[in-house]
Amino acid sequence: MRILLVEDELRMAQALCELLRQEKDEVDHFADGLEGLEAIETGIYDVVILDVMLPHMNGFEIVKRARQKGIHTPVLMLTAKGEVDDKVMGLDCGADDYLTKPFATKELLARIRALTRRQTGDIDGLLHFGDITLNTHTLTLSCNENSVKLSEKEFHILEYLIANQGQILTREQLALKIWGYDSEAEYNNVEVYISFTRRKLRFVNAKTEIKAIRGIGYELRDENV
């Protein structure tokens, strides 16, 4: 899972990054509100953990602007403020959940898991699209009685396409999602792994296909529809 953390308290940010990476999550951290908004607008994250008090733009304004631009990524807001009015303001701006500092790490992790289940419909560890099923626990792709093990990158490509079904994802979005900001991955890497993933779809005789949209990117389509 790829998580965006926007938090200007350095010690808090370092502790959260370490915690999430121990959970095998990929984390990008920004301490500035404007930089955080730009990162959210890429649409590559599964969850955003967003502090309220930030330099240059507060968390309320960030989530409000992101929602106005059609970004539906789940947002968990963090704040030292516990007043009801602040919580109401955050939720009204478009946040999905609210956690007051200090908090137990177990509660943070539980809330993140709940947000991702709500977003993807992954209640039992299974994601469905067309005639395929993706097992998020075993990284297995299934279609009817056929199944095949996916590599981590193949899994993330399909997971991202399923989460954004009906949308065309650019090569840049896929590269950022799979390889991240710090990666030197080139766009041809995306094409290579798209090719690998298509082979796995053919292996299980799926009608679901990854369609290339010339000059734009890729879209997951159910050819039975």
pLDDT average, residue stretch 75-102: 82
Q: pLDDT tens digit string along 132-158?
A: 999 988 999 999 999 999 998 999 899
CA distance 169 to 160: 9
CA distance 206 to 161: 15
> At 126, is the pLDDT very low, low, confident or very high (cuts 50, 70, 90)?
confident
**Average pLDDT score, the chain:** 88
CA distance 225 to 222: 6
CB–CB of 197/140 below 8 Å?
no
- CATH assignment of 2-120? 3.40.50.2300
* Every domain of the chain and the residues it spans: 2-120, 126-222
pLDDT of residue 115: 86
CA distance 63 to 149: 37
Q: Considering the entire predicted model, what is its pTM? A: 0.65
pLDDT of residue 113: 85
Tell me the two tokens of residue 106.
Answer: 């177990």
CB atoms within 10 A of CB 18: 11
Which class is 126-222 in CATH? mainly alpha
Q: pLDDT tens digit string along 13-51?
A: 999 999 999 988 889 999 999 999 999 998 889 899 999
